Structures are given as C-alpha cells and as structure tokens.
Amino acid sequence: MTAKSADGDQFVQENKDTLVRIIKHGDDEFVRALALRALIRYGDEPALHDVQNEIERAKEEV
C-alpha cells in the first residue's frame, strides 16, 4: 500500500458519513461524483453497499 492510498483510506474512514451525505443531498454533480469516487476507491464494502442502496432508492423515486 502506498502512502497516497493510505491517506485516502484514512480520509474516507474519517469522513465516510460526510461523503455519503454529499452524495445523497449535494446539488453539485461534480462534487457528488468526487465523493462517490472516493468511497468506491478507498471505502470499505459496507459503505459501498450503503451507497448502492441509496442509488437504487433514488432510481425508484424518479
């Protein structure tokens, strides 16, 4: 593991709730995409599952 990915892992671990909130409620699509990318790249499996569930729920609402 490189220092760069260790920093990413630590950031996502410490800010997972904020990243999920950004994805769920953010107005800026670019920022939402960055938050999603961080969770996909550095997040753990439960976080990815939570995001996937939110995406599926959003699809149903549209």
Taking only the tens of pLDDT, the chain with its 62 residues reads 555 578 889 999 999 899 989 988 999 999 999 998 998 899 887 777 877 887 888 888 87
Separation of alpha carbons 17 and 26, rounded Å? 13
Identify the pLDDT of residue 18: 95
Which pair of tokens denotes residue 31? 């920022």
Q: Rounded distance, CA 10 to CA 60, Å?
A: 33
> Looking at residue 61, what is its pLDDT?
80
Query: Global pTM?
Result: 0.69
